[in-house]
């Protein structure tokens, strides 16, 4: 009976063309118009005004962009904020040294004066957002050409953005939605005195490491704490000892009540990029060409790294962060292509396109407006493919070679000398920059890995790329080394200045025309420059031109889709603007015959405990607390909850976002997605897409019982 009802309901949904349950990253400003009734029917107890208010304070005032690509939220009236450990990682690393190894040991400020200023770290509050399409498109005539249109829009947008912040300390940005069908103005207040307050040791904050990354069940304590400081007027100011904790307009109360299956949840934060409206051609390319080739290239690179890392501890530490970065996207792409295939994403898109074509053909007016789109998508994507493949190889093979990447930093210096613009000021500036990048580069550089990577990547590049995309230097290398990349690598790594850090420092200490001109005989520099030329002349321009046309077509295509499905709610692709996703706590079926629960506990941490495995080495103090069952008020059914999953539609950038219950209270901090659902950036599957959050009660347990920093809890509002 329940099954038939469910089928009936889903049939109804398809009939009215509603967005699929739980899918969507909604604009906070429009919740009242589109989503609030649905949200309330699913358990949200507050109003649209509570989410986003033009006049008063609302939950949005408790949310920040943290650093460059994460989200954070205020949890006290004194500027305390929480985000992920992997979002605070750069800051934690920045403050770490051999004497104070906060990555390994964690860090806890026991008083305000121990909080660590973190130069370079900013947080941004959204002051307001506003639809400005009419103003951005002002002056547009039906006859206008696309280049003229773009020019006009850029000028209008600039004027609007400037006037919106005139006489204030705010910054602003005009953002296109739906490929430029609509435009929104965003105004931000940026704080630059942000101090580190607390971080668990990596053995908690990164527990499970890359082994568990993108996976459920998960046991990572992925959080860190910071505090925003302001001047005496509660306004942003550069670091000063006189600054005081910022008093936010709003902070989130914390709920101790936890989660049950079916509970309403909402994620409020900054998803980075999604591509929900891609046509079948593009989805096919991602699932069948791009993801597989990128994964294969990274497979090769990771195998090389792992072999050397396993053999040597120093190398393991040097390459830990690089390896994590390479592995993160690699694993996501594997999940994404698997998910797209399992969902039959290409066929679904084709089905939608058949509907669209039929709908467009049904009236002469629509035929004129939309009938040309799909055939044109087809031909443009066919034309794009070789360039898109080449760009994948540029990023994933050529730039995978660390020395090639590093040597490209010297291009500016070389061209300054070549063009006779190497005045003292320019040279000094570039010298400083290169010196600091050289320092951080060589600190974690291990030549034998890079040499192997170069051989493997060049083999792949020239095996797969058509001759048209071969750099000029290839003929010379062929002749000189008989096509043996091993011989080339031996000579290049023997003779290149970049293979020897002291030679690079020497070059940087004596920058002059003569020394810089030696780079024109340097194998690595020449290889980099030659690739650079081939991409600049034969790939990038074509790629950009076709994509520009595609973007324009998507604008029209989505207009058509919205016209065809007037009852369906549309949401714009993620573009690192503030969004609301909502759904419910729920487990899922990862593969046939298995069922995942919606939560994990500290029991799982102890089950994974394995001191000899880096990713699973539980800190002794946590073992002690566990063995003594010293869980304090964080005990739930005799254990401590650690993480939970829900059906919220999230993406990269949502890391650190608050997970909020029906009462507007914080129940968790979002940090990842489950592997079987990582195709959600392209197509969302309510059955398998899950966001992963740390349970806020595990955060409190770690802060209070593990770190002994319970004083921090005193400034929070904890709802029992």
Query: What is the contact surface with ligand ASP in residues (CB under 6 A)?
Result: 650-655, 671-673
Beta carbon nearer to ligand ASP, 337 or 458: 337
Long-range contacts of 150-154 (CB under 8 A, 24+ apart): 153/180, 153/183
CA distance 378 to 380: 6
Answer for which of 53, 76, 213, 565 binds ligand ARG (CB under 6 A) is: 213
Beta carbon nearer to ligand ASP, 58 or 654: 654
Closest approach, Cβ 673 to ligand ASP, in A, equals: 4
Nearest Cα to Cα of residue 606 among 586, 620, 592, 587: 620
* Strand pairing report for 254-255 and 718-719: parallel
240 is catalytic: no
Residue 653 near which of ligand ARG, ligand ASP, none (CB within 5-8 Å, type-dependent): ligand ASP
Q: Which of 61, 222, 394, 522 is an active site residue?
A: 222
Answer for which of 652, 656, 658, 662 binds ligand ARG (CB under 6 A) is: 652
Closest approach, Cβ 88 to ligand ASP, in A, equals: 12
Q: What H or E segment, with its residue span, contains residue 145?
A: none
CB neighbourhood size of 663 (10 A)? 15
Residue 88 near which of ligand ASP, ligand ARG, none (CB within 5-8 Å, type-dependent): none
Closest approach, Cβ 120 to ligand ARG, in A, equals: 20
Q: Show the tokens assigned to 218.
A: 């998960």
Task: Please name the residues in contact with 145: beta carbons below 8 A apart, sequence gap of 6 or more.
Answer: none
From 209-217, 298-306, 493-501, 513-521, span contacting ligand ARG (CB under 6 A) = 209-217
Residue 209 near which of ligand ASP, ligand ARG, none (CB within 5-8 Å, type-dependent): ligand ARG
CA distance 650 to 655: 9
Enter the DSSP assignment of 616. G
Residues in contact with ligand ARG, shown as a per-residue x/- string from 294 to 333 under the rule CB under 6 A:
------------------------------x---x-----
Chain residue at closest Cβ approach to ligand ASP: 655
Residue 214 near which of ligand ASP, ligand ARG, none (CB within 5-8 Å, type-dependent): ligand ARG
Residue whose entry in the numeric block shows the structure tokens 């971080």: 199
Beta carbon nearer to ligand ARG, 214 or 488: 214
Residue whose entry in the numeric block shows the structure tokens 């066929």: 347
Closest approach, Cβ 467 to ligand ASP, in A, equals: 38
Closest approach, Cβ 69 to ligand ASP, in A, equals: 7
From 205-213, 242-250, 348-356, 468-476, span contacting ligand ARG (CB under 6 A) = 205-213
Residue 650 near which of ligand ASP, ligand ARG, none (CB within 5-8 Å, type-dependent): ligand ASP
Q: How far is CA 176 from the centre of its chain?
A: 19
50 is catalytic: no
CA distance 517 to 222: 48
Q: Show the tokens assigned to 516.
A: 């810089």
Beta carbon nearer to ligand ARG, 324 or 606: 324
86 is catalytic: yes
Residue 324 near which of ligand ASP, ligand ARG, none (CB within 5-8 Å, type-dependent): ligand ARG
Residue 336 contacts ligand ARG per CB under 6 A? no
Enter the DSSP assignment of 585. B
Q: Contact 477/470 with Cβ under 8 angstroms? A: no
Closest approach, Cβ 211 to ligand ARG, in A, equals: 8
Closest approach, Cβ 102 to ligand ASP, in A, equals: 20
Residue 224 near which of ligand ARG, ligand ASP, none (CB within 5-8 Å, type-dependent): none
Beta carbon nearer to ligand ARG, 65 or 177: 65
Residue 205 near which of ligand ASP, ligand ARG, none (CB within 5-8 Å, type-dependent): none
Q: How far is CA 44 from the centre of its chain?
A: 28
Closest approach, Cβ 671 to ligand ASP, in A, equals: 6
Burial class (CB in 10 A: 0-12, 13-18, 19+), 199: buried
Residue count, binding to ligand ARG (CB under 6 A):
10
Phi, psi of 602 (to 5 degrees): -65, -20
Answer for which of 22, 193, 210, 402 binds ligand ARG (CB under 6 A) is: 210
Q: Which of 85, 86, 470, 649 is an active site residue?
A: 86
Beta carbon nearer to ligand ARG, 174 or 646: 646
CA distance 632 to 152: 62
Q: Show the tokens assigned to 376.
A: 């044109």
Q: Show the tokens assigned to 397.
A: 């093979």
Q: Contact 645/598 with Cβ under 8 angstroms? A: yes
Answer for which of 263, 672, 681, 685 binds ligand ARG (CB under 6 A) is: 672
First-to-final CA distance of the chain: 38
Residue 651 near which of ligand ARG, ligand ASP, none (CB within 5-8 Å, type-dependent): ligand ASP
DSSP 458-525: HHHHHHHS-GGG--THHHHHHHHHTT-HHHHHHHHHHH-GGG-HHHHHHHHHT--HHHHHGGGG-HHH
Residue whose entry in the numeric block shows the structure tokens 């900013």: 122
Q: Show the tokens assigned to 612.
A: 């000899």
Burial class (CB in 10 A: 0-12, 13-18, 19+), 611: exposed
Beta carbon nearer to ligand ASP, 76 or 647: 647
* Strand pairing report for 182-191 and 123-131: antiparallel
CA distance 557 to 178: 10
Closest approach, Cβ 650 to ligand ASP, in A, equals: 5
Beta carbon nearer to ligand ARG, 176 or 208: 208
Q: Which of 280, 290, 655, 693 is an active site residue?
A: 655
Active site residues: 86, 222, 655
Which residues of this chain interact with ligand ARG, rule CB under 6 A?
86, 209-210, 213-214, 324, 328, 652, 655, 672
């Amino acid at each position: 009976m329940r099954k038939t009802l469910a089928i009936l309901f889903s049939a109804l949904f398809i009939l009215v063309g509603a967005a699929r349950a739980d899918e969507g990253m909604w604009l906070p400003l429009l919740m009242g118009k589109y989503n609030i009734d649905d949200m309330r029917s699913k358990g949200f107890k507050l109003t649209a005004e509570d989410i986003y208010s033009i006049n008063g304070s609302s939950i949005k005032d408790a949310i920040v962009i943290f650093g460059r690509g994460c989200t954070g939220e205020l949890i006290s009236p004194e500027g305390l904020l929480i985000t992920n450990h992997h979002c605070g990682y750069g800051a934690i690393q920045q403050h770490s040294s051999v004497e104070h190894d906060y990555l390994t040991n964690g860090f806890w400020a026991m008083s305000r004066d121990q909080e660590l200023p973190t130069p370079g770290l900013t947080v941004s509050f959204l002051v307001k957002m506003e639809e400005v399409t009419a103003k951005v498109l002002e002056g547009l005539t039906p006859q206008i050409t696309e280049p003229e249109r773009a020019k006009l829009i850029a000028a209008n947008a600039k004027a609007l953005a400037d006037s919106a912040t005139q006489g204030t300390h705010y910054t602003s940005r005009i953002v296109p939605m739906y490929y430029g069908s609509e435009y929104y103005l965003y105004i931000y207040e940026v704080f630059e005195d942000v101090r580190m307050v607390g971080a668990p040791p990596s053995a908690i904050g990164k527990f499970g490491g890359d082994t568990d990354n993108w996976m459920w069940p998960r046991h990572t304590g992925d959080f860190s704490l910071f505090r925003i400081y302001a001047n005496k007027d509660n306004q942003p100011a550069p670091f000063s000892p006189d600054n005081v904790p910022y008093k936010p307009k709003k902070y989130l109360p914390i709920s101790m009540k936890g989660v049950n299956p079916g509970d309403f949840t909402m994620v409020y934060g900054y998803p980075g990029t999604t591509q929900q409206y891609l046509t079948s051609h593009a989805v096919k390319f991602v699932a069948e060409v791009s993801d597989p080739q990128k994964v294969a290239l990274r497979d090769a690179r990771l195998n090389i790294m792992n072999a050397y890392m396993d053999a040597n501890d120093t190398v393991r530490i040097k390459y830990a962060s690089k390896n994590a970065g390479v592995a993160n996207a690699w694993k996501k792409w594997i999940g994404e292509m698997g998910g797209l295939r399992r969902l039959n994403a290409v066929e679904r898109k084709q089905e939608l396109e058949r509907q669209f074509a039929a709908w467009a053909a049904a009236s002469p007016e629509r035929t004129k407006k939309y009938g040309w789109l799909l055939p044109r998508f087809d031909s443009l994507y066919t034309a794009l493919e070789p360039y898109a493949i080449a760009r994948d190889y540029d990023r994933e093979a050529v730039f995978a070679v660390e020395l090639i990447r590093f040597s490209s930093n010297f291009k500016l210096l070389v061209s300054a000398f070549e063009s006779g613009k190497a005045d003292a000021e320019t040279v000094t500036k570039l010298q400083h920059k290169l010196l600091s990048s050289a320092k951080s580069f060589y600190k974690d550089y291990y030549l034998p890995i890079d040499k192997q990577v170069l051989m493997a990547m060049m083999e792949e590049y020239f095996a797969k790329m058509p001759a048209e995309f071969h750099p000029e230097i290839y003929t010379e290398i062929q002749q000189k080394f008989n096509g043996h990349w091993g011989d080339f690598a031996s000579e290049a790594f023997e003779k290149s200045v970049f293979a020897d850090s002291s030679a690079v420092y020497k070059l940087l200490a004596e920058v002059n025309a003569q020394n810089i001109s030696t780079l024109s005989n340097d194998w690595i520099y020449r290889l980099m420059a030659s690739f650079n030329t081939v991409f600049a002349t034969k790939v990038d321009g074509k790629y950009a031109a076709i994509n520009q046309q595609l973007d324009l077509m998507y604008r029209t295509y989505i207009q058509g889709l919205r016209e065809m499905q007037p009852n369906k709610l549309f949401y714009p692709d993620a573009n690192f603007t503030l969004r609301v996703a909502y759904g419910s706590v729920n487990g899922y079926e990862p593969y046939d015959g298995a069922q995942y629960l919606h939560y994990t506990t500290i029991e799982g941490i102890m089950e994974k405990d394995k001191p000899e495995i880096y990713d699973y080495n539980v800190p002794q103090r946590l073992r002690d607390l566990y063995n003594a069952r010293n869980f304090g008020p964080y005990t739930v059914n005799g254990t401590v909850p650690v993480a939970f999953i829900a059906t919220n539609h999230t993406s990269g950038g949502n890391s650190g976002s608050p997970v909020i219950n029906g009462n507007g209270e914080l129940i968790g901090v979002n940090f990842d997605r489950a592997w079987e659902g990582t195709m959600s950036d392209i197509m969302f599957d309510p059955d398998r897409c899950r966001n992963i959050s740390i349970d806020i009660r595990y955060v409190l347990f770690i802060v209070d019982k593990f770190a002994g920093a319970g004083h921090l809890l005193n400034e929070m509002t904890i709802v029992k």
